[in-house]
Structure formats: structure tokens, C-alpha cells
Amino acid sequence: MFNPNSLPIKLFADGANITEMFEMNDKSFIKGLTTNPTLMRKSGVDNYENFAKEVLATVTTKPVSFEVFSDDFDEMIKQGKKIASWGENVYVKIPITNTSGAFSKNVIRELQLSGIKINVTAIMTSAQVDALCEILDGEIPSYISIFAGRIADTGKDPEQIIKKALQASKNLKYAELIWASPRELLNIFQAAKIGCHVITATQDILRKLELVDYPLEKYSLDTVKMFANDAKASGFEINT
């Protein structure tokens, strides 16, 4: 039987449903958790700080990433310092740019100068990775979060960008690369194969781990039975 702990890549659970986050925290193969304002909004979170502190009261050892939400760089720095104060295992998520497309380099530099662990997010180009690697402090833990799923949505191969990113960041001692926003379970194995350090995944994808190595003949038969049962339950008829 497949053991997710055998994967040569760290699995992080991505979401904002607090019950599911606690369930994921209890699983040994989940090495960290991430969330973002969009996921929090979908889950009905109405108080950012209360939500984060409730999560951190239970998730005390695994890394958890919480994102700043200001569009002003000075305010991002203030928010980042406040978020970091909530726990030793907190990574502060900083978008690679603000909504005007300006590089968040001063935010990244200031937070790292303060010894704050960061997760630079929403990265989609090699140029963004290169610019980031030029300013990252290799002695401060950080994540370089490449949105591979969104890159793939445009018809481009994210593996090539991530391979280049691994090369660009190889001298940053405590920087780890994240394959973010995967679209299917196969992405976990693709990310692991090219040496990516971390992959984030939602509950929908993580649930499919139980299908790894499932016999395809049996899966085919299961699918045929599902179609037949659903057609019967729907009362479909064709007069012949």
C-alpha cells in the first residue's frame, strides 16, 4: 500500500476550512499548511487575526503561511511584522508584486532583515524568480512559491520554469521551492521527479492519495458501475 511519507517532496495542505486544517495537521505526511485571503473568504472567515490565532493554537510545530493583504508596501511591512509575531512557525506570505505590478523587493528585504521567515507567492515567470533570488537572504528560511497550476492553465509547461528556479536558487541555503496550485494528483509526482522541495495541495487532491497504485482495470470497472448506477437512479429511458 502506498505510503505518502515515502514521497521525496514535502506535502503542504492548502485551505482555510479550520476543521480540515486541523485534520491535515494530524497527518504525519502533511509537513506544513498554507492559506490565502481568497480561500479564507470562500470559507467565510470574517476576522483574519482571530482565525490565524485559532489555527496557531493547534498547529504549533508545522510551518503555516499567512498572507499580507495591503497593497501599500509600507503597510505590507507592518502587517508582515504583526503576522510573524503570532507564532514561531509562521511564514509571512508576500505577493511578488503589488496590484500595480511593482516588485515587492523592499518588503521582502525589510522583513528578512528583521529575521522574519517569508513565503513569496504568485510567482509565474523565470524573470520574477531571478529578481527574487538576487535579493533573498540565503540564511533566513523562505519559500519561493511558483503557481505551476496557473502557468499550466495558459498552456505553458511549468516544469521548465521550476527547473530554472531550482538552478537559480541553489545557493540560497534555506530557500525552498514550492509547486503551488496543482491541478491533479499527478502533479505531486511531477514535482517530486524534478526535485522540487514542496508542493501545496487542497483537500480535493489530497483525498486522491488513496488511489495511488489502484489497479486500472478495477478503476475502469468502478467507473462503468458508477455510470450504470447513476443512469438507473436518474430514471433514464430510451425507447427502442
Element of type H or E holding 18: helix 18-25
From the candidates 42, 53, 81, 93, give the one annotated as an active-site residue. Answer: 93
Calpha distance 202→66 (Å, rounded): 16
Task: State the Cα–Cα distance between residues 68 and 49, nearest whole angstrom.
Answer: 11
Proportion of the chain in helix, strand, coil states, percent, rounded to 5: 45, 20, 35
Angle between helices 73-84 and 105-113 (to 10 degrees): 30
For the record, the C-alpha cell of 199 comes out as: 508542493
Cell of 178: 514550492
> Per residue, what are the HEC states of 139-199?
CCCEEEEECHHHHHHCCCCHHHHHHHHHHHCCCCCCEEEEECCCCCCHHHHHHHHCCCCEE
Say what the alpha-carbon torsion angle 89, 203, 161, 83 is, to the nearest 10 degrees.
Answer: -30
Look up 93 and say whether it is catalytic: yes
CA 25 to CA 63: how far, in whole Å? 10
Sign of dihedral through CA atoms 62, 175, 42, 98?
Answer: positive
What is the spatial distance between Cα 146 and Cα 196, in angstroms, rounded to a whole number?
A: 10
Active site residues: 93
